[in-house]
């Protein structure tokens, strides 16, 4: 069986440009604004070129998720292996741009089965990675995994980050800055406790 042809560097660059445009459009105007016409206008190309790279808008969304997830899975693995795993994970999870994009992709996934399946597969992979690391790490932080199991810690870390960034981006008066500062203090205290126990 012949190997699939590799894309030329110029093609890869154009494809990245289209994905960058779609990502920025999603951040600026929401996932519903991601149409071939809007993406093309943002990228400075003809709409037919968007369709050349992506037969459907679902294909474009899936490509966005895959591109982001490859980076994020690597960054999560690095965070969990960092000298301060929880603090590094928290900074990654609460990154405003990445979380805002994730919120938009989740909203789009509610209406697009192919995207929902892709997001679900990645979420399961990342959660398995997190729980495996937490099985090892929680005792180092003085946390009893029977009382606060890894699945709860992982869900809480991601959920708090998602809630804070969503409220910050929406401009809701829910005191997200205070919540972020409190979480920063909590994680810093856990890291200090872990260092002292070593």
> Which pLDDT tens digit goes with each residue over 182-198?
999 999 999 999 999 88
Average pLDDT across the chain, whole number: 92
Q: pLDDT tens-digit profile of 22-77?
A: 999 999 999 999 999 999 999 999 999 999 999 999 999 999 999 988 888 999 99
Indicate the pTM of the whole model: 0.84
Answer whether 70's CB lies under 8 Å from 26's CB: no
Tell me what pLDDT residue 169 has: 85
Q: Do residue 113 and residue 24 come from a single domain?
A: no
Tell me what pLDDT residue 161 has: 95
In a domain, 29, yes or no: yes
The whole-number average pLDDT for the span 129-147 is: 96
Answer whether 108's CB lies under 8 Å from 61's CB: yes
In a domain, 63, yes or no: yes
Q: Do residue 51 and residue 63 come from a single domain?
A: no
Name the more confident of 150 and 102. Answer: 150
CATH number assigned to the domain comprising residue 27: 1.10.10.60
From residue 29, alpha-carbon distances to 23, 24, 194 in Å are: 10, 8, 42
Q: pLDDT tens-digit profile of 68-127?
A: 888 889 999 999 999 999 999 999 999 998 888 988 999 999 999 999 999 999 999 999
Can you tell me the distance from the alpha carbon of 25 to that of 171, in angstroms, rounded to the nearest whole number?
19
Q: Is the pLDDT of residue 135 over 50?
A: yes
Tell me what pLDDT residue 53 has: 93
Please give the tally of structural domains in the chain: 2
Q: Do residue 74 and residue 27 come from a single domain?
A: no
The whole-number average pLDDT for the span 138-145 is: 96
Tell me what pLDDT residue 1 has: 46
Can you tell me the distance from the alpha carbon of 149 to that of 131, in angstroms, rounded to the nearest whole number?
9
Can you tell me the distance from the alpha carbon of 103 to that of 97, in angstroms, rounded to the nearest whole number?
10
User: Percent of the chain, pLDDT > 70?
Assistant: 95
Q: Do residue 161 and residue 177 come from a single domain?
A: yes
Answer whether 63's CB lies under 8 Å from 50's CB: no
In a domain, 2, yes or no: no
Q: Do residue 99 and residue 151 come from a single domain?
A: yes
Q: Is the pLDDT of residue 4 over 90?
A: no
In a domain, 79, yes or no: yes
Q: Do residue 126 and residue 46 come from a single domain?
A: no
Expressed as residue numbers, the domain containing 21 is: 8-55
In a domain, 43, yes or no: yes
Q: Do residue 63 and residue 155 come from a single domain?
A: yes
Q: Do residue 36 and residue 106 come from a single domain?
A: no
Tell me what pLDDT residue 6 has: 55
Name the more confident of 185 and 169. Answer: 185
Answer whether 161's CB lies under 8 Å from 176's CB: no
Q: Is the pLDDT of residue 3 over 60?
A: no
Q: Do residue 51 and residue 62 come from a single domain?
A: no
Other Cβ atoms within 10 Å of 3 Cβ, number? 5
């Amino acid at each position: 069986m012949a190997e699939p042809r590799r894309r030329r560097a110029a093609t890869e660059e154009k494809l990245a440009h289209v994905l960058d445009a779609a990502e920025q459009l999603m951040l600026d105007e929401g996932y519903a604004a991601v149409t071939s016409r809007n993406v093309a206008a943002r990228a400075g190309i003809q709409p037919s070129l968007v369709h050349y790279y992506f037969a459907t808008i679902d294909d474009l969304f899936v490509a966005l998720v895959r591109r982001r997830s490859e980076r994020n899975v690597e960054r999560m693995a690095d965070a969990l292996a960092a000298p301060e795993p929880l603090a590094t994970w928290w900074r990654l999870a609460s990154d405003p741009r990445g979380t805002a994009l994730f919120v938009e992709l989740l909203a789009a996934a509610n209406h697009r089965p192919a995207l929902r399946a892709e997001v679900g597969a990645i979420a399961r992979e990342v959660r398995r990675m997190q729980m495996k690391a937490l099985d090892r790490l929680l005792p180092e932080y003085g946390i009893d995994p029977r009382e606060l199991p890894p699945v709860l810690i992982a869900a809480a870390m991601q959920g708090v980050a998602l809630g804070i960034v969503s409220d910050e981006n929406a401009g809701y008066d829910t005191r997200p800055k205070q919540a972020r500062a409190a979480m920063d203090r909590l994680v810093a205290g856990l890291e200090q406790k872990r260092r002292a126990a070593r």
